[in-house]
Amino acid sequence: MRPFAPLTALAALAALTTLTACGADPAADSASGRGGDGAKRGTVTVRIPDPGNAGILARGKQDGSLDKALSAVGAEVAWTGSAGPFAPAAQAMNADQLDFATGSITSGITSLAQKPGFAFFTATDPDPVGEGILVREGSDIGSLKDLVGRKVAVNKGGTGEYLLLKALAKEGIPADAVERVYLRPDQTAAVFNAGQVDAWAVWSTYAVAEIGSGKARFLADGAAIGSDNYSLNAVRSDFAKEHPAIVKALYHYLHDNSAKERKDPAAYLNVFTDAGPTAVTGRARDVQIDFTRKGGTVDPIGPEDVERFETVARFYADQKVTPATVDIASHLLDVESLS
């Protein structure tokens, strides 16, 4: 992706970023950060959700490579809480309790409608194979049209609701012809497997276990649906203004290691343990490896990405998920221009 020129609404942030970067020496900049327990004097603390047992950040936590990358710009990580849905993470950034989080453009849009205190600075292309609409093996649902009159579990305002609405729109099926059952993703598997819903619109974090168990399959995946559901990284706006070099260093770490993960997905699974509830084993491990190989890398946000973000925003407004079209462009950072 090619980086885009900062938009007018970002001009003030860009100016503040430049002044912050050039108006003080690194020691003064670092001293303005939160120290945290045991932090070295003058070191900026970056509050990031704990990544668990898999992925780029988990590997960086385990082997020390993330600490090394951030120490070069006078920063260190404080692992805060745990990674999960973007909506609560966005609230935590708004409340100055978190500096960085990962989410989808779909959940990002609904969070941007809530007086946001964050901006997006990277984009990963929509997942063509790891997200979609799951049905149980043996289900009589053979096509999207068979969802009419059925119950589909979705997370409200996020990836699940988007995938279902997008799939229905593509087939010309009225949205109200399918009953949306709003559930938290981490509470949906039991409901889905008990047959209390007929399908589940979901992404790879939860789909891998279901497909890996041999008990579920995608009725339609992201490619079939025509999903524009990018994965994004967000940073607290004030943190980006105060510490642009740290944001840029974090971007480069994520970009470089996402390319490594795509080439060798197995190295980023079961980072801390290969047993227990957080481990991915058996067929599920093979499913996750395949999904990761076919996924994207963490890149700067380019003009073509912005157009697709805005398409999602208009779609959400048209579908009454948001009361109006959410302004996305004014909450995007050109990460490569930071210094």
Task: Give the three-class secondary structure for 242.
Answer: helix
In the prediction, which pLDDT does 114 show?
81
Return d(Cα 130, Cα 77) in angstroms, integer: 29
Q: What is the pLDDT along the chain (339 residues), one digit of tens a residue?
A: 444 444 333 333 433 333 333 333 333 333 334 444 444 558 999 999 999 999 999 999 999 999 999 999 999 999 998 777 888 999 999 999 999 999 999 999 999 988 899 999 999 999 999 999 999 999 999 999 999 999 999 999 999 999 999 999 999 999 999 999 999 999 999 999 999 999 999 999 999 999 999 999 999 999 999 999 999 999 999 999 999 999 999 999 999 999 999 999 999 999 999 999 999 999 999 999 999 999 999 999 999 999 999 999 999 999 999 999 999 999 999 999 987
Of 225, 221, 219, 226, the C-alpha closest to 143 is 219
Return d(Cα 232, Cα 301) in angstroms, integer: 9
In the prediction, which pLDDT does 41 show?
59
Buried b (16+ CB within 10 A) or exposed e, 189-219: beebeeeebbbbbbbbbbbbbbbbeeebbbb
In the prediction, which pLDDT does 244 show?
97
Beta bridge partners of 260: none
In the prediction, which pLDDT does 34 show?
47
Question: Which residues, other chains included, contact 253 with Cβ-Cβ below 8 Å and sequence gap of 6+?
Answer: 56, 60, 65, 66, 69, 70
Of 218, 191, 8, the C-alpha closest to 128 is 218
How many CB atoms are closer than 10 A to CB 307? 12
Task: Give the three-class secondary structure for 260.
Answer: helix
Return d(Cα 339, Cα 335) in angstroms, integer: 9
In the prediction, which pLDDT does 40 show?
54
Of 99, 82, 65, 118, the C-alpha closest to 246 is 99
| First-to-last C-alpha distance (Å) of the chain | 20
